[in-house]
Amino acid sequence: MTIVDNFSRESLAIEVGHGIIGERVVRVLDRVAAQRGYPRMIRVDNGPEFTSRVLDQWAYLNGVEMDFIRPGKPTDNAFIEAFNGRLRQECLNQHWFFSLEDAKEKIQRWRQEYNAVRPHSSLGNLAPLEFVQRSQLALVKEARS
C-alpha cells in the first residue's frame, strides 16, 4: 500500500505485506496522521481494504472524506498510479527480496531517496522534502508580512 501527498509528491508511507486489510490501513493512516495531521480527503480505489467498515468508521470519526475513484478507472488517481509505476520500475523490478523484512528495508531505502534526493519536474526539479521546506518557509514569510 502506498500513500502519497498530491501537493508535495512526498511518499508518506509504503506498507509492505502479503495482504493489507482495513485494520492495517487504519494503523498506517493513524501513524501518518500522528506526524502530519489528518487529511481533509483521501483518494482511494475500490479495493476491499478501502471499502471496509473499519476504514469508513475511521474516516467518519476523523473528519476525512473518502474519495473513491470510478471502478476500473485508475487514471482518476493519476498521482498514485505514476508513483506506483516508479516504485515498480526503480525498486521492485531492480531487487530480489529474500524475505518480507528484506523487502521492507529495500523499499524504505528507496522511499527515503525518493523523498530526499530525487528531483521532480512538477516541483521545479526539487525533491519532495526540499519542496515542502521551501513551501513552509514561504508561508512563514507571507505570514510575517
3-state secondary structure (DSSP) of residue 3: strand
The pTM is what? 0.88
Would you state the pLDDT for residue 27? 97
Per-residue pLDDT of the chain (145 residues; tens, 9 = 90+): 999 999 999 999 999 998 899 999 999 999 999 999 999 999 999 999 999 999 999 999 999 999 999 988 888 888 899 999 999 999 999 999 999 999 999 999 999 999 999 999 989 999 999 999 998 888 787 787 7
| Cα→Cα distances 106→10, 49, 127, 131, Å | 18, 24, 19, 24
Would you state the pLDDT for residue 99? 96
Domain regions of the chain by residue span? 2-144
Would you state the pLDDT for residue 144? 79
Tell me the CATH architecture of domain 2-144: 2-Layer Sandwich (3.30)
Would you state the pLDDT for residue 128? 94
User: Cα 87 to chain center, whole Å?
Assistant: 12
Would you state the pLDDT for residue 9? 94
